[in-house]
Structure 1
């Protein structure tokens, strides 16, 4: 579908990072390595250094930690080191681009071990509070600002978008962009129809960087129609 970001939910079970959205879906054969890391490595090798054939654009791998953040991240970091050639890397104050950029979301406790590292192969998914902080973290640590749409906006795509909320949305995105950070809202309407299209249209007009959806074909068609 030509998108530049995918999301994987992970649980730490023993020493394994299992991929599932809910605990009842856990399967020891469905690991982060087997479903994402190894296939991405093979793809990048086949495409001579890129996830996308003939294109150098990076893929964002958004990893949503569902178990305790610090311990899960430490195991994740160990696994990412095995695929160090794949990933954008922060090292001693500098960022070295790679074919895949890992961004860590989910349990907030992952932030502590991440901030302590002088070398890491992942970045942190911030929240609006991080954008508004008196001394905000740089884009070299927080390249992405994400938050829950329903906690910040009352409008769900029905009727007119209140102008005060439109200006709030555009202000958030402009502030993030001024710091070289990108913006994502989750919990936007995701049922096909006019309400979803209305919200997507406002996000597009405001220059939002990522749209959250489970309907990949629907978003692809929408974006193609709004080039």
Structure 2
């Protein structure tokens, strides 16, 4: 074999090995023998990046959805809740994209070993939506095998489904794409006028549409309204989430979570990973 060809082959092999997740033989065998966990697809980690181990803590609690707020700064997507907390080391790629890719390789094509349902990665754009989304699209393209993809009217499911929320200006470049690796987070005003192939998720502020905070009985009119919303979204194949629901441990939160479950709401919002995990386990639901 010519020297240049040999070097090229060795370089290709080295790159492949560098991208693989290498485990000692004993650990790899133990991982294969460990029973798969039961993911909690309805559990959504709000402001996931504020936990000690972003993404990893949510996955340890079996969450099916995680949320990251991003700012576009000098061509980088930095993860933080507020601009004053920005840290150049905390990028979307380092905290979420690269770890998810490594986990999917280790689990032979899924975030949770043996599971076919994609993990939802909700990306909240905190800077101007169009420019921030274009950079996000470039970064998602580098991990194209990881994500659910929309291609010329058809959706191909991947291990992770990226959903873009936050600044509404992202809608225009998203809608213009015939090939994309992200979907739109619609609002209740989008219900009935968007398709799941574009707006896979419908999210809104609970307090903007409901008065009940889990204390006393859920008003019949509000229960009917909630179930009507969920039914309309599900008819189009869209998932439903509310933010700004009570998140202080106690009877009020449990009562409201119970009504959300009963109505078929797809994602329950929380900062309390262990609390929602325990609640969903107690109710025997994912």
TM-score (norm 1): 0.97
Query: 2:68 matched to which residue of 1?
Result: 8
| Partner residue of 1:90 out of 150, 153, 176 | 150
Output the CA distance in 1 between the equivalents of 2:101 and 2:62: 18
- Counterparts of residues 62-211 of structure 1 (less than 5 Å): 62-132=122-192, 136-211=193-268
Query: 1:49 matched to which residue of 2?
Result: 109
- Counterparts of residues 33-48 of structure 1 (less than 5 Å): 33-48=93-108
Q: Report runs of 4+ in structure 1 exceeding 4 Å deviation.
A: none
1:219 and 2:263 correspond:
no
Give aligned pairs, total.
224
Task: Please identify the structure whose Cα radius of gyration is greater.
Answer: 2
With a CA cutoff of 8 Å and minimum separation of 6, indicate the structure with the bigger relative contact order.
Answer: 2
Deviations 1:5-54 (A, max 9, x none): 11111000010000001111100000000000000111111111111123
TM-score (norm 2): 0.77
Output the CA distance in 2 between the equivalents of 1:64 and 1:155: 26
Deviations 1:64-107 (A, max 9, x none): 11110000000000000000010000010100110000000001
Shift of residue 55, structure 1, vs aligned partner: 2.1
Shift of residue 2, structure 1, vs aligned partner: 1.2
